[in-house]
Amino acid sequence: LPSNRPTKMPTLQAQPIKPLLLLFEKAGKRGAKVSSLDLSHKSLDSRNIIPVAAALGYNITVSNVNLSYNLIDWHGARALATALLDNVQISELDLAGNRIGDAGVKLLAEALHRNKSLRSLNIKNNGFGDEGACEIASALTVNQ
């Protein structure tokens, strides 16, 4: 991880996760299936995304997640990568137009080595260079 960035993550508390988990649970009880989550263009930063990522880790219905054009940095990418390790339902993840950078792309690439359900990952316009591109390319050769 870049040395000029703080390494301490904001503390993840269960309280912000609860509403999302309840939403998934209530929808399931009504026979509805929440299959898509679109939080694009909401100016969400990593503090906002961390609870979303935690809830997605427990999710069993959402397969399409759009978090494009927010303010997600490598902290948020780390939380999403952790969710991808546990989640076998998400098949599409759109992170275009964020601030993930090389460090965040590397974290996502590491998750792709284990996650076999993700089929589409949009990470364009995230400020990563050759290093990040190589990490993703390597992960994609494993995740087929």
b/e for 102-141, b at 16 or more Cβ within 10 A?
bbbbbbbbbbbeebeebeebebeebebeeebeebbeebee
Q: What is the pLDDT of residues 83-97, one digit of tens each?
A: 999 888 999 999 999
- Bridge-partner residues for 71, per DSSP? 45
Share of the chain above pLDDT 70, in %: 76
Half-sphere exposure of 80 (CA within 13 A, CB side): 30
Spatial strand order in the sheet of 64-66: 36-38, 64-66, 92-94, 120-122
Average pLDDT, the chain: 82
pLDDT-derived band at 29 (thresholds 50, 70, 90) equals low
Reduced to 3 states (helix: H, G, I; strand: E, B; else coil), residue 107 is helix
DSSP annotation of 45? B
Measured CA angle at 61 (ends 60, 65), to 5 deg: 110
- Calpha distance 27→111 (Å, rounded): 28
pTM above 0.75, yes or no: yes
Q: 9-13, 55-59, 112-116: which has the minimum mean pLDDT?
A: 9-13
Q: Are strands 92-94 and 64-66 parallel, antiparallel or unpaired?
A: parallel
Would you say residue 118 has pLDDT above 50?
yes
Reduced to 3 states (helix: H, G, I; strand: E, B; else coil), residue 71 is strand
